[in-house]
Structure 1
Amino acid sequence: MSRLLAPAALGLTLLLGGCATATPPAPITSGAQAPLLPSVLFPGGADSFTAWRCSPDQALVTAAPEGELRLWSAHGAWRLEPAVVASGARYEGGRVSFWNKGDGAIVETSRGRLECRAHMRRQALTRQQRPGVMFLGRGNEPGWTASLAHDRPEATLTLDYGTRQQTLPYRVTALDNEAGRVVLASGRGDTPFELRIEAGACLDDMSGEPFPARVTLSVDGEQYRGCGQGIAP
């Protein structure tokens, strides 16, 4: 079993565990390549994400690439492998198990369990839909997007429902592959911004659509919050 994150203090909130292994800031150089983002931010080849509403109250997100299940909670993510079960489908990894049949699911940990119902599904974004983009973050009120180029360290920020747009170089100020956490900062002193990406269940606050990452964009003295997804070739 290959874990994306090591869970700790596993209660009903699926608390995140593991040690952070941050890398130093990466300088920007001519012809620099885009950084490799943590795999936990991607669907892993799955064609869709599913949002689950659970009791006790919690939202989960899953994606099911061939031969595994990716599970995101409010505090992290896990990669689970198939297990034998009489009916439905069951996946296990460490002290976490996910059993579902139809639109119902039970998530069990060493300290309890969640009873969940499928709430919404969303097709995963693809490179055909977003050419040249390896990660897209977006949010509402006002509508905004932040897209990262797949081949160079550049971010395109589109703000205020598309009325403002700028493409800027960035540098990596923090990268934790185990936790699926990335912090990017502007590569230009005259146009500062910070983009924080962290693996975890995220539901669009207007549509309810599921995503595997929470995104926070700080620019021009404002802070924008939303959801995001890595986009593989």
Structure 2
Amino acid sequence: MRVIPSLLAASLGLALSACQPAQTPAASNAGDDAAATPAPAPVAAAADGGGDGAGNQTLYRCGDLDVRATFNGEDAATVAIGGRSFAMSSERAASGAKYGDGKGNSFWTRGSEDALLSLKGEADRECNAVEATEGDGSAGNAAFRATGNEPGWLAVVDGDTPGLQVDVDYGERRFTVAKPTEGADGWVGKAADGTDIKLSFQRTTCQDGMSGETFEAKAMLAVGTRQYHGCGNFGGK
């Protein structure tokens, strides 16, 4: 009579053994399902919009400051003032194109010639586009135009009415030499307050360390005992 349980046990064992192959494909199917699930696509690296420094540049005179605005399409602009540079993005405006950095500084163009410069903590400055663009190989009617950084400075020798105008230390100080003496390598004279001013040049290619622009000459400006170094372009009368 005990043979029956043994037979039942054997039968049960065979049944369980027969079920084992069915479990293996199930596991395989689970793996196939996992493989079929698409993995998240890799996120492409964001393109560097300013990698090649390309953009349309315009030089403005904003009150007592010379401003170089580089427009990268309609969405961004870089505004350089002496040794300072502001990276700005497009902002909503009733007219024209307005750019801001979210820190209280903005530049608002109004047409192709006029703009408004707003710097945090300073009065707004009306701007007018200057015909000559630095680094394009000319200086308009000026005989020579030179600029430098850290601290920012600008010197212009007027080609129509000889005179030397100098702004130094980001425009904080200004000097004018009405009748500078012209030499083979520059101009020299005294400002109205008696300060000695000398602007000299060396005819060799010069590259601006901040903007990367290429100029026709290296320039050195001496205001009293202080010296400033930069680059310059010659203009055609």
Common topology (TM > 0.5): no
Say which structure is richer in strand: 1
Q: TM-score, normalised by structure 1?
A: 0.40
Identify which of structures 1 and 2 has the higher relative contact order when contacts are C-alpha pairs closer than 8 Å and 6+ apart. 1
